[in-house]
Structure 1
Amino acid sequence: MPNPESDDYKFLRIVDATTSINQKVNLIGVVTEAGIPKQSKGTDCCCTIRIVDESNPSSGISVNVFAETFDKLPNVESTGDIIQFSHVVMKLHGSEVNAVFNKRFSAFALYEGSNFSNFVPYQVSSKFHAREQDNKFIADLRKWTITHLPETESNGFFQLNSIKQGIRSNLICKVLHICEVTQGEWMLFVWNGTDAPPLDIHSKLEEELKNPLCLQLEEPPLSREVLCSFPTVGSVLRITADRCNARLALQLLKAGRWVQFRNIQFEAREGLWCGILMHSSKFSYLPDDNKVVLEFQREYKKRFKGKWTRMPLSSFPWPPNLTKTEHEHVPLVTLMDMITYPKVLYKYRCVVRVVATLPGEATNFRGPTGIYRIRFTLEDPTARIHACLYDKDGKSFLEAIRMMMKMIKLHKVLLGIDENNGKARNPPWIDCCLKSYYVDKNDMWGSRRYGIFDTKLINWRPFFSI
């Protein structure tokens, strides 16, 4: 049996390991981040773990781990956990030194970083052999992390209300749900209590009948049961992998956990935000008592303290005076509040944007019999829905607009059409009352619909010279 005191069983400090190119070494360190598990170009699964120790507390070193299956890769529970590697090979890649875990002879073990009394690893590889003397290294690292491992700072990490198109950024958020949207393609649904900024709309109104603006990026849409598990205030961002990185195993991330993502890109798809994980994207789990997580949760709770605090943050202090409702005393709710309300029949008041209408031209709002029949596509930071404006509700909505020229002009205002800005539309926020109803009493939830009522367009003079 090998001698546990031999060099083959000693841990090297990271700073010393970096000078041991092409040699097998043993390492022990604190996990600061992990790459998203992915399928390698061959038959293996792989991920990257970055660790630090007292000899290199800032940049640390990356360990590239290869295994036959995803479940054999290190599954780090939280930033700050401790991992030990045996017989990893030090390699020079360009100007950077990293370690490579070989599935044939390397081993690892993962330990909780904050539990000072537990020295039993929560995950080990098949070739790992525990040693009593390892406990001292684990205990020393735990003590060191108390004063030396930097806490997560909000600086450098974006809230959803600060994201920008085409910019790679860092994001702290909670993973709410993970699902397979198409075969082999997974999507994450994440949230941190803030509102993503409204986007310009580029869809063609004349194509709304045959090619309507989508209500959500995932298809089929999420079930009501899943939606009811989501927070009703704050945007839920969809995150997927770039097409070039379809091998990323997003399904292995854990729903219900707070995560910090590094190097994630944001794109607009049909006027909805989508996060894109790149080959170089990294993540790490955060504990629920993390300072930044607690800060996000405190700000989120403030949005429930008043009658108007659920209003979209980008509409403050109040939306433009384009509409008037007959229920101005009623507190505002979000579209997600409405979607997840436990009763089929109910009435609500929301601040929304009109991102599309069907018909797309105001001249066609009335049918052949003279009855108003309009389908609005409405959105707020939490959801996008269809809401109908029919007959008397339509007449009431448009009664202040007597002349067709004014109606056409106001329709353009509602949709955010700027004649000087090409095809991009930036709809304003409006205050409106909505009701939910069903069209089939034998399937009330399945046939649930939404409509606008007790809301009027105002002939707002700054928009008109007619």
Structure 2
Amino acid sequence: MSSCNLLSAWHGVKIGKSRMRIWRLAILAIWWSVWEERNDRCFNGRSASVQAVWSRAKYLLLEWEHGLSVNIFTEDMTMLPRVRSLGDIIALHNVLMKDHKGNAQALFNKKCSSFALFEGKSCMGFIPYQIYSNFHITDQDEVLVTQIRTWLAHYKFDAGMNEYSLQLRDIKVGKYFDLVCKILHMSVVVDDVSILYVWDGTDAPPTEIQMNLDDEARIPLPLQSEQSPLSRDVLCTFPCVGTVLRFTVGKFFEDIGLQLQGRGQWVKFRNITCQLQSGLWKGVLLPTSKIRLLSDKDSAVKHCERGYVERLSTGVDHLPRPSSITEMGYGHVGFSSLMEVLTFTKVTQKFKCVVRFVAIYPWQPEDFRSPETGLYRIRFTLEDPTARIHAYLYGEDGEEFFGGCPTIEILTKKMNKLLGIPESDDAAGVNACRNPPWVQLCIKSYYLDKNDPWTTRRYRIFGARLV
């Protein structure tokens, strides 16, 4: 069937007037989703399942069904409306109303149109917190603002949770969703590209690691998705519990959304998705993605904050549940997340953590010992929901960890179990898709140069045994 015939047949369906607009939007949402999927496959080498494309079409239909579109043009980005909180009020003067394909749109002309932004709280006066240059408030504006505030006082106005709203703990690759989160930091990569760091207090799901272990010597598994690690000063501003998700954002989002409030602002992203990069979650903004500033009193924000406080109050329950394949002493010390390890106030310290072993170098058991000294020297890559680090196993700590001098066969079995390598894998883990278990571990930090302790800080495994 041709596109014309399909469109004709679609519009020929007899349906009630109240549902006709949604029915007409549905075919556009389907076509748009299929077209974007086609572009992804042709130009980006990515493909999604039929269910994911259908999910995206349904999301777009929900997005297009509600709201009045207002196109505002100004001489530069800083003059655009900068809404502080969800529920605030915008007054628009001299805008042109147009019908675009059956949908009402307001068109802003920078020469004759104007706007003003008012707080949505009923107790506030009529002094706008932002005014476009030629805006003049009228008595009618005050009447309308008062009426809207009265209505808002009896209306539970929140972030608009729907079936697409997820927390980071529920994300899946390629699934389109909305996310209420807190902006922790933003770093500029190049002039028009930045990385945005967001958090909602939950842990993103652990991922399978797909990597050739022979590549660890030449191309180590990265510790973060960005090329350069954040400074310790920045990391110290991050929460120590919960995954920090990275987004690569362009200048549009920087100018319109992110510079309004900066770090600490709660926002809602609409129509985003996630990908995996070297086993790390990475947020993806789409051409149809939107960002909305939220008030600290928004119900969705309160839900995130309440969940975070409850996690912290449950002690070790905020950590992943470890398996029993490791044993350790040092029982008088509480558990720490890797973010706490990275940001601890002292250079040298001992920690207990729950982590996954996601990479190892060297990976062949016969190479674990130095050929010169016969001592163990291994570099592990450890991760938890908050961070990844390199940790080293040396000398007597290696003897304790592996339980003396096991045979190569026994050592291989233990390491395969620790790294999550399937027992049936004939290649002994070289190309295996690995799902490492959570294990308990003791780590101590030290430094290589007393004149530069923080830059030369390293981590070492001790006091643990693999069973």
* TM-score of the alignment, normalized to the shorter chain, above 0.5: yes
User: Any idea what SS the aligned residue of 1:308 has?
Assistant: helix
User: Any idea what SS the aligned residue of 2:228 has?
Assistant: coil
Amino acid at match of 1:454: G
Q: Is 1:72 aligned with 2:79?
A: yes
User: Any idea what SS the aligned residue of 1:161 has?
Assistant: helix
**Structure 2 runs not aligned, ≥5 long:** 1-64, 426-430
Q: Is 1:365 aligned with 2:368?
A: yes
1:177 to 174, 181, 185: 185
Q: Is 1:129 aligned with 2:129?
A: no
Q: Is 1:437 aligned with 2:457?
A: no
User: Any idea what SS the aligned residue of 1:304 has?
Assistant: helix
User: Any idea what SS the aligned residue of 2:139 has?
Assistant: coil
Residue of structure 2 equivalent to 1:34:
none
User: Any idea what SS the aligned residue of 2:460 has?
Assistant: strand
Q: Which 10-residue stretch deviates more, 96-105 or 349-358?
A: 96-105
Whole-angstrom CA distance in 2 between matches of 1:351 and 1:131: 62
CA deviations on 1:174-218 (whole Å, 9 max, x unpaired) are 111111123321111111111010111112211112111111112
Decide whether the 8 Å contact of 2:158 with 2:300 is kept in 1: no
Amino acid at match of 2:135: F
Amino acid at match of 1:88: V
Q: Is 1:292 aligned with 2:300?
A: yes
Whole-angstrom CA distance in 1 between matches of 2:94 and 2:423: 66
CA deviations on 1:402-458 (whole Å, 9 max, x unpaired) are 121111122122111226686321111010000011010000111111110000100
What pairs with 1:17-166 in structure 2 (closer than 5 Å)? 59-148=66-155, 150-152=157-159, 154-156=161-163, 157-166=165-174
CA deviations on 1:289-330 (whole Å, 9 max, x unpaired) are 222222222221223335423312xx3xxx111100112343
**Structure 1 runs not aligned, ≥5 long:** 1-57, 459-466
- 1:106 Cα deviation after fit: 1.5
Amino acid at match of 2:88: D
Whole-angstrom CA distance in 2 between matches of 1:307 and 1:330: 13
Whole-angstrom CA distance in 1 between matches of 2:108 and 2:145: 20
- 1:115 Cα deviation after fit: 4.8
Q: Given the superposition, is the C-alpha separation of residues 436 and 138 from structure 1 closer, same or farther in structure 2, using an over 3 Å criterion?
A: same
Q: Is 1:322 aligned with 2:325?
A: yes
Residue of structure 1 equivalent to 2:455:
446
Using the size of structure 2 for normalisation, the TM-score is: 0.80
User: Any idea what SS the aligned residue of 2:379 has?
Assistant: strand
Whole-angstrom CA distance in 2 between matches of 1:180 and 1:382: 22
Residue of structure 2 equivalent to 1:18:
none
User: Any idea what SS the aligned residue of 2:316 has?
Assistant: coil
Whole-angstrom CA distance in 2 between matches of 1:247 and 1:298: 32
What pairs with 1:383-398 in structure 2 (closer than 5 Å)? 383-398=387-402
User: Any idea what SS the aligned residue of 2:187 has?
Assistant: strand
- The root-mean-square deviation of aligned C-alpha atoms, in Å, is 1.9
Q: Is 1:338 aligned with 2:345?
A: no
Q: Is 1:196 aligned with 2:204?
A: yes
Residue of structure 2 equivalent to 1:19:
none
Q: Is 1:353 aligned with 2:352?
A: no
Decide whether the 8 Å contact of 2:189 with 2:195 is kept in 1: yes
Q: Given the superposition, is the C-alpha separation of residues 420 and 136 from structure 1 closer, same or farther in structure 2, using an over 3 Å criterion?
A: farther
Whole-angstrom CA distance in 2 between matches of 1:401 and 1:172: 51
- 1:247 Cα deviation after fit: 4.6
User: Any idea what SS the aligned residue of 1:218 has?
Assistant: coil
Whole-angstrom CA distance in 2 between matches of 1:181 and 1:200: 28
User: Any idea what SS the aligned residue of 1:133 has?
Assistant: helix
Using the size of structure 1 for normalisation, the TM-score is: 0.80
CA deviations on 1:51-70 (whole Å, 9 max, x unpaired) are xxxxxxx9231111122211
Whole-angstrom CA distance in 2 between matches of 1:376 and 1:154: 41
CA deviations on 1:222-263 (whole Å, 9 max, x unpaired) are 11111001110111111123xxx6654365352211111110
Q: Is 1:428 aligned with 2:437?
A: yes
Whole-angstrom CA distance in 2 between matches of 1:59 and 1:155: 13
Q: Given the superposition, is the C-alpha separation of residues 146 and 251 from structure 1 closer, same or farther in structure 2, using an over 3 Å criterion?
A: closer
Q: Given the superposition, is the C-alpha separation of residues 77 and 246 from structure 1 closer, same or farther in structure 2, using an over 3 Å criterion?
A: closer
Identical pairs, percent: 45
Decide whether the 8 Å contact of 1:344 with 1:437 is kept in 2: yes
Residue of structure 2 equivalent to 1:303:
311
Whole-angstrom CA distance in 2 between matches of 1:300 and 1:148: 27
User: Which structure has more helix as a fraction of its residues?
Assistant: 2
Decide whether the 8 Å contact of 2:391 with 2:459 is kept in 1: yes
Detail structure 1 runs of 4+ shifted over 6 Å in the superposition. none
Decide whether the 8 Å contact of 1:353 with 1:378 is kept in 2: yes
Q: Given the superposition, is the C-alpha separation of residues 294 and 251 from structure 1 closer, same or farther in structure 2, using an over 3 Å criterion?
A: closer
Decide whether the 8 Å contact of 2:84 with 2:295 is kept in 1: no
Whole-angstrom CA distance in 2 between matches of 1:356 and 1:200: 12
Amino acid at match of 1:284: R
Whole-angstrom CA distance in 1 between matches of 2:312 and 2:323: 23
- 1:166 Cα deviation after fit: 0.6
Residue of structure 2 equivalent to 1:410:
414
Amino acid at match of 2:298: N
Whole-angstrom CA distance in 1 between matches of 2:115 and 2:299: 30
Q: Given the superposition, is the C-alpha separation of residues 71 and 268 from structure 1 closer, same or farther in structure 2, using an over 3 Å criterion?
A: same
Whole-angstrom CA distance in 2 between matches of 1:183 and 1:427: 38
Whole-angstrom CA distance in 1 between matches of 2:78 and 2:160: 31
